[in-house]
Amino acid sequence: MAEILIGTSGYYYQDWVGPFYPETIKKEGFFEYYSRTFPFCELNFSYYQMPRRSRLIGLIKQSPKNFMFSIKAHQSLTHERGPKSPEHASEFLHAVSPLVDEKRLAAVLLQFPYSFHYSTANRKYLSELIENLKGLPLAVEFRNREWMLDRVYSGLESRNACFVQTDMPNLDNLPLPTSTVTSDIGYIRFHGRNRTNWWNGDNTSRFDYLYNEHELQSWLCRTEEIASKVKKLFIAFNNHHKGQAVQNAVQIYNLLKEHTRLEPAEINIKAR
């Protein structure tokens, strides 16, 4: 059965002070506190600024030896694609090498926008990007349902690239959850189901959502199925507003332990 690691997308949120971080903590202590609570974190600052080796080395040193990182690809690779994307891919590859060297890299998350349609040009771009990042564990997230095709799954599988499962609002042409596995890792991202703010909100209001127990329970059978097909399964909550991601991460951890045969890596707090 797969090793299962549950965490959140990001950790550096001031509004987590109180719901998660102690009132007395300084911002400089956020990550160390987080890494002693959860077994893995999805780093998202790397989308906005190209990651620096020195910063990643610092995070490695602050965290336990078995702590794992996934890291979101820089926007120049997924959202602002252009002629210099191969150069940016090379820069990104070099930057994340400390995570590779220390065997701390869970995956590089290639999260494409809704506007990334299933087209000949985009299929070619994706193929070239995967080749440019060869050697890294890759997890590909599509925000457009057009990519949910057997030929896409086959293409990812031939490159051992993970197809990311997502939970998001049930709106036209957004991806639907499946149990499809295309590599030796599985990856599930919970974005919340805020239909009202999905198209018009910002990066806070769009993900302002707290899952209820029934909604998380609906994922248990699917999670078991995915876990039976992979070596490692990463589950990340992106509904970060006011620490809701933390609350739901702990909640699904408890549900998996209580209602399935799965044994997720320990989370060191109780649900709040």
Chain segment 168-211, per-residue pLDDT in tens: 999 999 999 999 999 999 999 999 999 999 999 888 899 999 99
Distance of CA 87 to the CA centre of its chain: 24
pLDDT tens per residue, range 163-179: 999 999 999 999 999 99
Residue 2: partners with Cβ closer than 8 Å, 6 or more residues away: 186, 226, 227, 228, 229, 230, 231, 232, 233, 262
pLDDT (average), residues 73-89: 95
Domain over 3-259 is classified CATH 3.20.20.70? no
pLDDT tens per residue, range 20-69: 999 999 999 999 999 999 999 999 999 999 999 999 999 999 999 999 99
Grade residue 272 by pLDDT with cuts at 50, 70 and 90. Answer: very low
| pLDDT of the residue at 1 | 77
Residue 271 has pLDDT above 70, yes or no: no
| pLDDT of the residue at 201 | 86
CA distances (Å), origin 145, targets 23, 149, 174, 196: 42, 9, 5, 19
pLDDT (average), residues 137-162: 98
pLDDT (average), residues 212-223: 98
HEC letters along 182-246: CCCEEEEEECCCCCCCCCCCCCCHHHCCCCCHHHHHCCHHHHHHHHCCCCEEEEEECCCHHHHHH
| pLDDT of the residue at 262 | 97
pLDDT tens per residue, range 232-270: 999 999 999 999 999 999 999 999 999 999 999 999 985
Distance of CA 135 to the CA centre of its chain: 19
pLDDT (average), residues 204-220: 97
Of 191, 204, 166, nearest to 245 (Cα)?
191
pTM: 0.97
pLDDT tens per residue, range 106-127: 999 999 999 999 999 999 999 9
